[in-house]
C-alpha cells in the first residue's frame, strides 16, 4: 500500500529503522510522476504487463465528459491487459480514476485492437 501511495505522490521516504533510507523499487524513483498524467500511468502499467511492450500504444481524446484513454495492443496481449474476469483492467481504471480525481477530471479507459 505504501508503494501505491508513493506512486500517487503521497508520503515520502520512510526510515527502515537502521538509519538508512530504503532504496526505491522499480518505478518508485520518481514518486508522484503519475500524479499529474493519467496517460503516462496507463502506458507504464500496460507496458509492464504485456510480453511485447513496444507494441503498446496509448492514445487520449478529450471529450465533453472528460478524458478517454485508449490502449491499443496486440491480440495476444489483450488477455494480459484485461485479466481474468476483467480484474486487471478494472484495477487500471480505478487507479487512473484516482489520478484524474486529483486533477478534477473524469477519465475512462478502453482496450481496443489495432
Give the span between the Cα atoms of 8 and 41, in whole angstroms: 10
Q: What pLDDT does residue 29 have?
A: 45
Q: What is the pLDDT of residue 80?
A: 92
User: Going edge to edge, which strands form the sheet with 57-62?
Assistant: 57-62, 67-72, 107-112
pLDDT interval class at 37 (50, 70, 90): confident
> What's the CA dihedral at 97, 99, 101, 102 to 10 degrees?
170
Does residue 7 surpass a pLDDT of 80? Answer: no
Q: Which CATH class is domain 33-112?
A: alpha beta
For the stretch 86-104, pLDDT in tens is 999 999 999 999 988 888 8
Model confidence, pTM: 0.70
Instruction: Quote the pLDDT of residue 59.
Output: 94
Residue 25 has pLDDT above 60, yes or no: no
Write the DSSP symbol of residue 73. -
Amino acid at each position: 500500500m505504501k508503494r501505491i501511495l508513493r506512486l500517487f505522490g503521497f508520503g515520502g521516504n520512510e526510515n527502515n529503522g537502521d538509519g538508512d533510507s530504503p532504496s526505491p523499487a522499480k518505478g518508485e524513483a520518481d514518486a508522484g510522476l503519475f500524479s499529474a498524467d493519467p496517460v503516462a500511468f496507463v502506458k507504464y502499467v500496460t507496458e509492464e504487463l504485456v510480453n511485447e511492450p513496444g507494441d503498446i500504444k496509448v492514445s487520449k481524446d478529450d471529450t465533453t465528459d472528460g478524458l478517454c484513454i485508449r490502449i491499443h495492443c496486440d491480440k495476444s496481449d489483450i488477455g494480459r491487459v484485461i485479466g481474468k474476469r476483467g480484474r486487471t483492467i478494472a484495477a487500471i481504471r480505478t487507479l487512473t480514476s484516482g489520478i484524474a480525481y486529483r486533477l478534477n477530471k473524469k477519465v475512462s479507459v478502453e482496450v481496443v485492437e489495432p
